[in-house]
Chains A and B, each alone.
Chain A
Amino acid sequence: NAGVTQTPKFRVLKTGQSMTLLCAQDMNHEYMYWYRQDPGMGLRLIHYSVGEGTTAKGEVPDGYNVSRLKKQNFLLGLESAAPSQTSVYFCASSRTDQNSPLHFGNGTRLTVT
């Protein structure tokens, strides 16, 4: 039982390049989330999904797209990376019942130059 796995762990991009961050969970969770963590800003929700085939915008969705084609996977895409997207990205998942906690991945450290 690996929990929540994120790939890659580190990445350096040049402005304008694209990439996809992969999140996989093996806990059969319905809900999945993408957050970014920046110093002094805490965690901010980018996009989330309440089930396979569904996605919704969070607090800071601009510049990102997501897809949830399979229940266990939640992909975060950057079509044209910008230096402002330099951050640590965390994926999380949870059950649907009340008071279910989030289970986090180890994070992806992305630098855009």
Chain B
Amino acid sequence: AQRVTQPEKLLSVFKGAPVELKCNYSYSGSPELFWYVQYSRQRLQLLLRHISRESIKGFTADLNKGETSFHLKKPFAQEEDSAMYYCALRFYGGSQGNLIFGKGTKLSVKP
């Protein structure tokens, strides 16, 4: 079955430190992967998608099919990066619908 795993519920770093939010997926087909961010009491927003290979707000994520991972990275964390981050996998077919999320990682950036 398709699955998205975010092993860390909470990640706490100091401002200026590098940050890596882990995401692993399980899917036999060709994955479409996304990172969404939710700032305090706001709607979820798209941060990155693997197809774009872009950097948004200093964040990057590389799809590693061998390790089935899509980790989110930023070299220097800022306080405004504090938020919930969700990794999501889109797939086609099956009974679970076509987009599933991990349980999320709460990033806390301390001054």
List A residues at the B interface (Cβ < 8 Å). Answer: 31, 33, 35, 40-45, 48, 56-59, 90, 92, 94, 98-99, 101-102, 104-107
List B residues at the A interface (Cβ < 8 Å). Answer: 6, 9, 32, 34, 36, 42-46, 49, 51-52, 86, 88, 90, 95-104
B45 touches A99 (CB 8 A): no
B98 touches A48 (CB 8 A): yes
A104 touches B43 (CB 8 A): yes
B97 touches A56 (CB 8 A): yes
B96 touches A45 (CB 8 A): yes
> Other CB < 8 Å A-B pairs besides A45-B96, A45-B100, 15 of them?
A33-B99, A42-B6, A42-B103, A43-B44, A45-B97, A48-B97, A57-B95, A59-B97, A90-B43, A98-B32, A102-B44, A102-B46, A102-B88, A106-B42, A106-B43
Contacts of A44 in B (CB 8 A): 101
Residue of A nearest to B100 (CB): A45
A83 vs B45: C-alpha distance when bound (angstroms): 28
B49 touches A42 (CB 8 A): no
Contacts of A40 in B (CB 8 A): 9, 103
By Cβ-Cβ distance, the 8 closest A-B pairs, closest first, are A42-B103, A101-B46, A43-B101, A99-B51, A58-B97, A104-B44, A45-B97, A48-B97
Residue of B nearest to A44 (CB): B101
Residue of B nearest to A58 (CB): B97
B104 touches A42 (CB 8 A): yes
A44 vs B3: C-alpha distance when bound (angstroms): 12
Contacts of B51 in A (CB 8 A): 98-99
**10 A-B residue pairs with CB within 8 Å:** A42-B6, A42-B104, A44-B101, A56-B97, A59-B100, A98-B32, A102-B88, A104-B43, A105-B43, A106-B42
